[in-house]
Amino acid sequence: MRVNEIRQHLEEELIPFWEGLRDTQYGGFYGEMDYHLTLYPKADKGCILNSRILWFFSNAWLTVKEPGCLEHAKHSYEFLKNAFLDQEYGGVYWSVTYDGKPSDDSKHTYNQAFAVYGLASYYAASGDKEALRLAYRLVDKIESSCRDELGYLEAFDRSFQPVSNEKLSENGVMAERTMNTLLHVYEAYTELYRVDKEDRIARHLRWMLDLFADKVYNPKKRRLEVFFDHAWNSLIDLNSYGHDIEASWLIDRGLEILKDPLYSAKITPITKDLADHIHSVAMDESSLYNECEAGKVDTKKVWWVQAEAILGFLNAYEKEPARSDYLESAARIWEFIKTYMIDQRKSSEWFFELHKDGRPIRREIVGPWKCPYHNGRMCFEVINRKIAF
């Protein structure tokens, strides 16, 4: 069964690989390993990477009780608390030096959200109420400094004065709002609400669900728009296949935890439509393409897109059990991952991205964005959902 294969991959490959990146001298985990598997112990350490490692080891403990995972999570938590938290202006830095000094002290809403995400999961794993208090402190900063009456804003300097959004703008546009940031604030608040049912978090979730339905979802094109100006006007003709299939199940997860029948009735047709559309336009015979801009498909195979596609299709199957084609596609993607995406070299992990034919593109194995979040989460979800595919 593929569930057993995926559990074995998690326990025997992913967890040991990330354990091996623990920095026992300066704290946290090493921030960079290049394509040739050269480790850079003095590379900067990104907060997104650290928060995702915190989330990964917390959930590894919750899912498989692998010895040592909770202690690795604590190690990551201590580094986040001591190195990334800005005690003067609040929030978390974008990155720090290898020994824990601010490197890029800018603040980004997306980055704050992932710190909340990691802290909430660490609280669930450890019961450490300090982590929960820190998560709420970051929520307070997000809500007071990173949003206006229309939605969440993006990039700020250290003191939370607005700056241009280079970090989450791509494809030749400079966005004042992004679907990506909204999705991951929603994801972080979903996890926080899962572990601690505070009413104000539920209100924020409902507000974001309205934004997805009324501002971000394009019913004519059956997709989420990606980059926006301040007034939520879309800036580019772009269908991000990975984000749409990821959103289809992440939004459903929030609905499951929120348990609001009115919002479930409003939003579930959208998430079903996203999954069906991606399944119909983005799959080739084995896996998922990256994106489509102005009608031109980017056929690269990106590590995180494949992991999210498995989850999105399994989630869609759970909602529509008659759709056995979703199960078949999830199975094909896992076979593709095993054959091409998992790097078979000793002491490696997944390739970042591949050409259409499966040849690896020489990108980093570990970096500010290359982390155990997407592939680790795919493993956790497959194990916990217990779907035979």
Give residue-wise pLDDT tens across range 129-142: 999 999 999 999 99
pLDDT at residue 67, rounded to an integer: 87
End-to-end CA distance of the chain: 7
User: Could you give the C-alpha distances from 340 to 25, 55, 286, 304, 374, in angstroms and in order?
Assistant: 35, 26, 11, 14, 17
d(CA 86, CA 95) in angstroms, rounded, equals 11
- 305 Cβ neighbours under 8 A, 6+ residues apart: 241, 242, 245, 288, 290
What pLDDT score was predicted for residue 13? Answer: 98
* Mean pLDDT of all residues in 75-98: 98
Dihedral sign for Cα 325, 241, 312, 377, please: positive
Task: Provide mean pLDDT across the span 284-311.
Answer: 98
For the chain, give the percent of residues with pLDDT over 70.
Answer: 100
- Over the stretch 15-64, which tens digit does the pLDDT of each residue have? 999 999 999 999 999 999 999 999 999 999 999 999 999 999 999 999 99
Distance CA 270, CA 1 (A): 31
Count CB neighbours of 17 within 10 A.
Answer: 18
Q: Give the pLDDT score at 11.
A: 97
Measured from the Cβ of residue 233, the count of other Cβ atoms closer than 10 Å reads 12
- Least Cα distance to 171 among 229, 226, 94 occurs for 226
- Residues 6+ away with beta carbon under 8 Å from 135: 115, 116, 119, 120, 123, 192
Given a cut of 90, whether residue 158 has pLDDT beyond it is yes
| 149: confidence class by pLDDT, cuts 50, 70, 90 | very high
Please state, in angstroms and as integers, the Cα–Cα distance from residue 283 to each residue in 42, 240, 241, 253, 290, following that order: 40, 13, 9, 23, 10
Q: How far apart are CA 241 and CA 221, in angstroms?
A: 13
Q: What count of other Cβ atoms lies within 10 Å of the Cβ of residue 120?
A: 28
The DSSP letter of residue 92 is: B
Strands 296-298 and 291-293 turn out to be antiparallel
Confidence of residue 117 (pLDDT cuts 50, 70, 90): very high
Tell whether the model's pLDDT for residue 102 goes beyond 80: yes
Domains annotated on the chain, with CATH: 2-385 (1.50.10.10)
Q: Which two tokens stand for residue 221?
A: 């094109």
Mean pLDDT confidence for 327-339: 98
**139-163 core/surface letters (b: 16 or more CB in 10 A; e: else):** bebbeebbeeeebbbbbbebebeee
pLDDT digits (tens, 9 = 90+) for 163-187: 999 999 999 999 999 999 999 999 9
CA atoms of 289 and 299, how far apart (whole Å): 5
Q: What is the pLDDT of residue 2?
A: 94
Closest CA to 351 of 99, 37, 43: 37
Higher pLDDT pick, 134 / 1: 134
Residue 1 has pLDDT above 90, yes or no: no
Question: What is the structure's pLDDT at 342?
Answer: 98
Report whether 227 contacts 236 (CB < 8 A): yes
Does the pLDDT of residue 327 top 80, yes or no? yes
